[in-house]
Amino acid sequence: MEKILVSCQGRTLDDPVDPRFGRAAYFLVVNPETMEFEVLDNTASRQMAQGAGIQAAEVAAGSGAKIVLSGFVGPKAFTALKAAGMRIGQGVDGLKVREAVERYQAGQVEITDRPTQSGHWT
Amino acid sequence: MIVAVASGKGGTGKTTVAASLVRAWDGPVQAVDLDVEEPNLHLFLHPEMEGGRRADMIVPLADQAKCNACRACAEICQFKAITVLGEYVVAFPEMCHGCGGCMAVCPTGAITEETRELGQVLWGWSGEARFLMGRLRVGEAMSPPLMREVVKHLDPERDAIIDAPPGTSCPPINAVRRADVIVLVSEPTPFGYHDLKLAREAFAPLGKPMGLVVNRAGLGDNQLYDYCRATGLPLLMEIPFDRRVAQAYSEGRVVIEACPEYAEAFGELVGRIRDLAVCERIEARRA
């Protein structure tokens, strides 16, 4: 079983996915079989002037999850997550975390090879 | 003497004041455009450019084969420009501020130097005045490193008038930190007042003498003047809200050349700036 890390605006499975990865409020690390989850606070990344995505990727890499689901993962976070060997699914914003995980399990979330948008500075 | 013309708010008249100051200056002078993100002083002083050079910054290049994933680089970097994820070292050279810390702490020599282009340093002459400017590379996010390269070309034999970038963050602080006097430019509007206050508070810890030029005087309200009285910020000059000043600006002309009746007032401004610097030296000697 591979755990799934989802960017989340709150601390439960019924809170909405945070559309941002680097500056997400929380990360939920979900076991998709039991739907048990752990909450990671992303405040440290959010408060960074720059490098929030990279910091968040370090948090994600250390979480034990192998899959990241978010609305949008920026190019630097993407590079960092790939280096950590993680798989990335984007565009699940607008869903609850529970729904995003279910959709991934049903094979309906595309695992992308590249960021879907450019960064803020490029 | 180095004079920095700065403002919290953009579009208050920094360049207008800087260009006229250069023309009114009473000795050998150099005009320095440190608003490298959007330089425009040359549009008024029309310098004949003489030369230039590319400015680079040293950034890390990481060699995975030599990395032992100790994370020393990741821990010293304050800007997330290099990190280690699992076994992999990943550098983000565009985030680097160029301190060289990662290279110094790496125990295996896995990090070597690469360069990132910051932009151009350009120099020339505008009449008797030397002219110096920076032009940031499009896509470069950080301007202070290029500003530091520009000021390396300052001529110590000449006074300098620096046209600073607006705001209160790293770029304007970098532009004023070498100055002997900071000339703040604002306009008598609520927005102008608000941002003047921010600028004065941001620059005050540098301990440099400051004074205010009120541009577009007659427009708006009296908050700027009340603030000067309350804080002791010297009012150095008022430039009236005059259509001809705006027209000169729109035509890329220096105000005191387009409207010679302002020449005397700018001459007095030069004297007041010199007085500010002298008073500061006297106070420093007393203290």
Q: What is the per-residue pLDDT across A30-73, written as a single tens digit (0 to 9) for each?
A: 999 999 999 999 998 888 888 899 999 999 999 999 999 999 99
Identify whether residues B20 and B80 lie together within a single domain: no
Q: pLDDT: is A113 or B248 the higher one?
A: B248
Domain containing residue B174: CATH number: 3.40.50.300
Query: What's residue A122's pLDDT?
Result: 43
Q: Print pLDDT tens along chain B (287 aa).
A: 999 999 998 999 999 999 999 999 999 999 999 999 999 999 999 999 999 999 999 999 999 999 999 999 999 999 999 999 988 999 999 899 999 999 999 999 999 999 999 999 999 999 999 999 999 999 998 999 999 999 999 999 999 999 999 999 999 999 999 999 999 999 999 999 999 999 999 999 999 999 999 999 999 999 999 999 999 999 999 999 999 999 999 999 999 999 999 999 999 999 999 999 987 777 777 76
Cβ distance A64 to A3 under 8 Å? yes
Residue B162 lies in a domain: yes
A112, pLDDT greater than 90: no
Is residue A117 in some structural domain? no
CATH code, domain carrying B91 = 3.30.70.20
Residue B52 is assigned to a structural domain of this protein: no
Contact with chain A for residue B83, Cβ under 8 A:
yes
- Cβ pair B133, B19 in contact under 8 A: no
**Could you tell me the end-to-end alpha-carbon distance of chain A, in angstroms, rounded to an integer?**
37
Q: Where are the alpha helices (DSSP H) in chain B?
A: 14-24, 42-45, 72-76, 101-105, 144-151, 170-176, 190-203, 223-231, 243-250, 255-258, 263-286
ipTM > 0.90, yes or no: no
| A65's tokens | 């999850």
Query: What is the nearest CA distance from A75 to chain B, expressed in angstroms?
Result: 11
Closest by Cα among A60, A64, A58 to A18 = A60
Which residues in chain B have Cβ-Cβ distances shorter than 8 Å to A54? 80, 83, 92, 95
Select the residue of A48, A83, A121 nearest B85 (Cβ to Cβ).
A83
B88: closest CA of chain A, how far (Å): 6
CATH number of residue A19's parent domain: 3.30.420.130
What integer is the mean pLDDT of A80-105?
94
Give B96 to chain A, closest Cα distance, Å. Answer: 10
- A83 to chain B, any CB pair closer than 8 A? The answer is yes
Q: Inter-chain contact A76–B92, Cβ cutoff 8 Å?
A: yes
How far is A18 from chain B, CA to nearest CA, in Å? 22
Smallest Cβ distance to B86: which of A50, A51, A85? A85
Tally C-beta pairs within 8 A across A and B: 41
Read off the pLDDT of residues A14-25 as tens digits, 9 standing for 90 and up: 999 999 999 999
Residue A106 is assigned to a structural domain of this protein: yes
- Contact present, B126 and B47 (Cβ < 8 Å): yes
Q: Decide if A33 touches B, using CB distance below 8 A.
A: no
pLDDT for the residue A116: 62
Domain that holds residue B254: 2-28+158-286
Q: State the residue range of the domain holding A36.
A: 4-112
Question: Is B207 touching A (CB cutoff 8 A)?
Answer: no
Say whether both B187 and B263 belong to one domain: yes
Whether A55 and chain B come into contact, CB under 8 Å, resolves to yes
Chain B nearest CA to A14, separation (Å): 30
Closest CA to B177 of B210, B209, B146, B206: B206
**Residue A120 falls within a domain, yes or no?**
no
- For residue B88, which residues of chain A lie inside 8 Å, CB to CB? 83-84
Q: What is the distance in angstroms between the Cα of B83 and the nearest Cα belonging to chain A?
A: 8
**A58 neighbourhood in chain B, CB within 8 Å:** 74, 83, 85
Helix (H) or strand (E) run with residue A88 in it: strand A87-89
Q: Which chain B residues are within 8 Å of A23, Cβ to Cβ? A: none
Is A61 near chain B, with CB under 8 Å? Answer: yes
SS3 of residue A16 by DSSP: strand
**B102, B117, B132 - which closes a domain:** B117
Is A118's pLDDT higher than 80?
Answer: no
B24 is a domain residue: yes
B22 and B71 together in one domain: no
Residue B238 CA neighbour count, 13 Å, CB half: 12
Predicted local distance difference test score (pLDDT) of residue A117: 61
- Is A16 inside a domain boundary? yes
Residue A116 touches partner B, C-beta closer than 8 Å: no
**Confidence (pLDDT) at A114:** 66
Residues B184 and B80 in one domain: no
